Amino acid sequence: MINLSVPTINDQPGDFDVLFSLWQQTQENEIKVRFDFSQCNFLRQNAVAFLGGLANMIESKDGKVEFMWDTMKKEVRKNLAKNGFVYRFSGGTPARKGNSIPYREDKVQDKDGLMNYLRKDWLGRDWVHISELVQEAITGRVWEIYTNAFEHGKSTIGIYSCGQHYPRWRELALTVVDFGVGIPANVRSHLQQSEYSADEAMKWASTPGNTTKPKEDIPGGVGLGLLKDFVEINKGYLEIFSHEGYLNIGHGRETFLKRDLFFKGTLVNIKFKCDNKLYLLTSEQTTEPISF
């Protein structure tokens, strides 16, 4: 039995290293893992999505997972009950939402279900003021992220999502993670360039027009485009972790880095500012557009 202590996890770079370290410790087959939360005061949406996927990964390799619910502080468990994580792994009361975008597992590609999740649970709750056209455009690009994960991630256990509205910080966050082969592996295979570093591969994949797909309707190997434009004008940010590669879009720049800690799959973290502005496409008529 492996006892893993889950600390407080936010969504700064070091917090993702904590998650990836947990993944690295659970790579053997037929292992038994016990998650201890006694040192945890808070789990952000990235931790919820990741831990759910990690538990499924362990079980898919004939391992056993135990969440030590009695080690959780009241507020931590309360939040995990609201987003449906407790219900998924322990039963009891289904998700109650609140400020949560529910924890979700997608073992197969379900476009209608996912688009409904993105429209209603994520962007359709008036936390970010956008027109219907902007909502459709953004959800379409995020759907592309799911599509890429299904078609190229080659994860046998599916894709995991969770989000959260943080009123105190006026932020809306969504994390999508798969435990597949990762973006760098796909790019290296497609280009037959085994020497490509992870950050070089990430840069290639995010360049408009580059794709590992035979045919692609939307430019950008990782399905960005208008989503990137919205992140910039909203002053939010978009992060992608895959292998040692890292992409951060925000604050008027794109940053590509090679990080120390390896994670085989791909994690996408999106954060919007809830700033009470109304965001419209330039094609929509208004007297005071915040358009792009």
Pairing of strands 237-250, 278-280: unpaired
Nearest to 15 by CA among 259, 237, 180: 259
Residue 1 DSSP one-character state: -
- Sheet harboring 32-36: ordered strands across? 2-5, 32-36, 64-67
**What would the pLDDT profile of 175-198 be if each residue is shown by its tens digit?**
999 999 999 999 999 999 888 999
Question: Residue 290 corresponds to which amino acid?
Answer: I
List of residues 6+ apart from 125 with CB closer than 8 A: 165
Parse the chain into domains and list their residue ranges. 2-291
Residue 121 DSSP one-character state: I
**What would the pLDDT profile of 152-164 be if each residue is shown by its tens digit?**
888 999 999 999 9
Determine phi and psi for 76, rounding to 5 degrees.
Answer: -65, -50
CATH superfamily of 2-291: Histidine kinase-like ATPase, C-terminal domain (3.30.565.10)
Question: Going residue by residue through the chain (292 aa), what tens digit of pLDDT does each one get?
Answer: 899 999 999 999 999 999 999 999 999 999 999 999 999 999 999 999 999 999 999 999 999 999 999 999 999 999 999 999 999 999 888 878 789 999 999 999 999 999 999 999 999 999 999 999 999 999 999 999 999 899 888 899 999 999 999 999 999 999 999 999 999 999 999 999 888 999 999 999 888 878 776 654 443 445 577 888 899 999 999 999 999 999 999 988 899 999 999 999 999 999 999 998 999 987 775 555 566 5
pTM above 0.85, yes or no: yes
Token pair in block for residue 202 = 């990430």
CB 54, CB 20: distance < 8 Å: no
Q: Cα Rg for the chain, rounded, in angstroms?
A: 19
Measured between alpha carbons, how far is 58 from 179 in angstroms, rounded to an integer? 11
Mean pLDDT of the chain: 91
